[in-house]
């Protein structure tokens, strides 16, 4: 079995770091800071998309993204935490499956975060925003990750907290599980996956039971 995890809202909570970095970027460039609710509603999208949706002119988007990343790099490990049961989920999953991370966050900083939490060694691949041309919900990030695995006769699952995670899985032709530990409600996730759990550990327990049932039939 191959299990791919999203990060924000699935394994980690970096809301504080994200909001602070957005606040800083708008302040540095002399613009009014959007409401936190507006920013949080866009988490999961690539940064350039978020800034466009927040009204930043196209000519300035890359400057805002650069400023964001400079600040985020300085604060990310201090202002990001693992979600409840996330560590247990990853450790449990690594005992019976091959694991990867597929995120719209910058891969470089995502790797640093997971090393900070002592979990990066559980994953065989991490695909971030800079590794693909087309981010989620496009299939490319998942297909890119799967290049690191032998997928023959393997069940493949994507676990994520947003529609984009589930749509990316659908577009890539793999199974998906939605979790309610992040930024979207069950009603919106159920439009794209019938399998919804409270958090990543519940999802992993379900997948472990599937694998056990498969081998005992």
Residues in the chain, pLDDT under 70:
212-217
- Give the per-residue pLDDT at 141: 98
* Whether 88 and 161 share a structural domain: yes
51/35 same-domain check: yes
Q: Note down the domain range covering 207.
A: 2-13+81-214
Q: Are residues 151 and 179 in the same domain?
A: yes
Do 192 and 130 belong together in one domain?
yes
First to last CA, the chain: 17
- Token digits for 179? 């979790």
What's 186's domain CATH number? 3.40.50.1000
The CATH number covering residue 30 comes to 1.10.150.240
Show Cβ contacts of residue 136 under 8 Å, excluding neighbours closer than 6 positions.
Answer: 44, 102, 104, 142, 164, 165, 167, 168
- Pair (50, 96) in one structural domain: no
Q: Are residues 47 and 135 in the same domain?
A: no
Question: Are 161 and 206 contained in the same domain?
Answer: yes
Q: Are residues 93 and 174 in the same domain?
A: yes
Last residue of a domain, one of 26, 58, 78: 78
Interval 79-98: pLDDT, tens: 999 999 999 999 999 999 99
| Among 59, 78, 97, residue at a domain's last position | 78
Instruction: State whether 9 and 19 are in the same domain.
Output: no
What's the pLDDT tens digit per position in 182-197? 989 999 999 999 999 9
Domain count, the chain: 2
Q: What are the E-state strand segments in the chain? A: 2-5, 12-13, 81-82, 98-102, 125-127, 156-160, 175-179, 196-197
Boundary (domain end) residue, out of 62, 78, 94: 78
pLDDT of residue 183: 86
Average pLDDT along the chain: 95
Same-domain pairing of 153 and 86 = yes
Question: What phi, psi does 81 have (nearest 5°)?
Answer: -135, 155
pLDDT of residue 90: 98
């Amino acid at each position: 079995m191959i299990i791919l995890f999203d990060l924000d809202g699935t394994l980690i909570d970096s809301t504080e770091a994200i909001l602070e970095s957005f606040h800083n970027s708008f302040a540095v460039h002399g613009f009014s800071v959007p409401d936190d609710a507006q920013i949080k509603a866009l988490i999961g999208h690539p940064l350039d998309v978020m800034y466009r949706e927040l009204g930043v002119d196209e000519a300035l988007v890359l400057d805002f993204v650069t400023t964001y990343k400079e600040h985020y790099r300085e604060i990310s490990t201090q202002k990001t935490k693992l979600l409840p049961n996330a560590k247990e989920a990853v450790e449990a999953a690594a005992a019976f499956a091959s694991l990867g991370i597929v995120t719209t966050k910058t891969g470089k900083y995502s790797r640093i975060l997971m090393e900070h939490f002592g979990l990066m060694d559980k994953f065989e691949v991490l695909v971030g925003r800079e590794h693909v041309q087309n981010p989620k919900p496009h299939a490319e990030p998942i297909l890119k990750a799967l290049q690191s695995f032998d997928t023959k006769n393997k069940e493949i699952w994507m676990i994520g907290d947003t529609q984009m995670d589930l749509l990316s899985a659908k577009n890539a032709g793999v199974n998906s599980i939605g979790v309610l530990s992040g930024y979207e409600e069950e009603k919106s996730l159920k439009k794209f996956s019938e399998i919804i759990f409270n958090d990543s550990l519940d999802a992993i327990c379900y997948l472990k039971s599937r694998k056990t049932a498969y081998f005992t039939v």
